[in-house]
Amino acid sequence: MQLISNLGAAIFALLASGFWFYSAAKPLPPMITYWDQAPANDPFYSAMRASVKFNRWAALFSGLAAFCAFMSAVLSHSPPPNA
């Protein structure tokens, strides 16, 4: 079970870093000034919404990796079943 927790932590951490890298690596289009508010199809606004979506997924995978690492630590310090 500890091996599964370790593998889960590694996989989720890799996924989180991939989503965060993808979110940060995409260049943002130039910001355009509007009188009232930016329309929903504004390229900068759309790029920011996509970045937020990828950051949300990265945070979820980061939390799952932390949970798996916690479970691995708990399992490594638990007494054997037949002790």
Distance of alpha carbon 56 from alpha carbon 60, whole angstroms = 6
Q: What is the mean pLDDT of residues 70-82?
A: 81
pTM of this prediction exceeds 0.85: no
Query: For residues 23-38, b (16+ Cβ closer than 10 Å) or e, as one string?
Result: beeeeeeeeeeeeeee
CB atoms within 10 A of CB 10: 13
6 HSE (CA, 13 A, CB side): 6
Between 63 and 75, where is the model more confident? 63
pLDDT of residue 20: 94
* pLDDT score, position 83: 56
Q: Which pLDDT tens digit goes with each residue over 19-67? A: 999 999 988 899 888 888 888 889 998 999 999 999 999 999 999 999 9
